[in-house]
Amino acid sequence: MSTPAQQLTTTSYAVLGLLCLRDWSAYELVTEMGRGWSDIWPRAVSGIYREPKKLVAHGLAKDRAARTGERSRTVYSVTPEGREAFRTWLATPTHAPQLEAEALVRAGFAEHGGVDDLLATVRQARSFAIERSRVYAAIGDEYRTEGPRFPERVHSIMLVGGFLARYFAAIIDWADWVESHAATWDDIGDADAISDLDALRADVRARVEANLARAR
């Protein structure tokens, strides 16, 4: 038996992780990845539909046809080999996080626009973090009223929640910091016109050094 040509990726393992929890139809996998994982592993719908097929090709999952009325759908389940492969993957080194923050690209060239542009950008980033926090607060409420969907793995979910809460807090904190300074700026085009530049520098320096002070 030859190795299938398509390589398994982090996305493959994320889907495999879901299959280790229960059987899912392809649509359910798409919905679950969109609802529960897109803040830390965003993937296009088409890509998610591809993954379980790859897992089947690798022998890590099995598919079966199911029906809703005359409507056909495919349900995927994990194989023992799949469980083993997932456990093995968890023991491999992790890739570094990658952040794509267009708002930061814009802030990094703020001098080419206006103060209003910068403030609008910052407020959009802030709104994003608040809205996402709102979604997770609702999930927390749901857990407390109806119980978690997978009670046996709540501790793992809390680890993710703890990260996201801190990540969104960092965005909100940053946005407020920028706004507190930029709102006083008349002219953004030249650093010479920024009267509180030293305060900006001092904040950054103190925080970077605080991070380094936590090195082991």
Residues between 116 and 155 with contacts to DNA, criterion CB under 7 A:
none
Q: Could you tell me the CA-to-CA distances from 181 to 116, 118, 149 in Å, in that order?
A: 13, 11, 44
Residue 30 touches which member of its own copies, DNA, none, C-beta under 5-8 Å by kind? DNA
Give yes or no for residue 11 binding DNA (CB under 7 A).
yes
Q: Could you tell me the CA-to-CA distances from 122 to 39, 48, 116, 175, 202 in Å, in that order?
A: 19, 32, 10, 5, 20
Give yes or no for residue 7 binding DNA (CB under 7 A).
yes
Distance, in Å, from the CA atom of 213 to the CA atom of 139, rounded to the nearest integer, reads 35
Least Cβ distance, residue 16 to its own copies (angstroms): 9
Give the angle subtended at the CA of 172 by the CAs of 169 and 176, to the nearest 5°: 140
Give yes or no for residue 1 binding DNA (CB under 7 A).
no
DSSP 3: P
Closer residue to DNA in complex, CB, 57/157 = 57
Place of tokens 């097929």: 53
Pick out residues in 28-67 that bind DNA (CB under 7 A).
28, 30-31, 42-47, 49-50, 53
Question: Which residues are at the interface with DNA (CB under 7 A)?
Answer: 5-7, 9-11, 25-28, 30-31, 42-47, 49-50, 53, 68-74
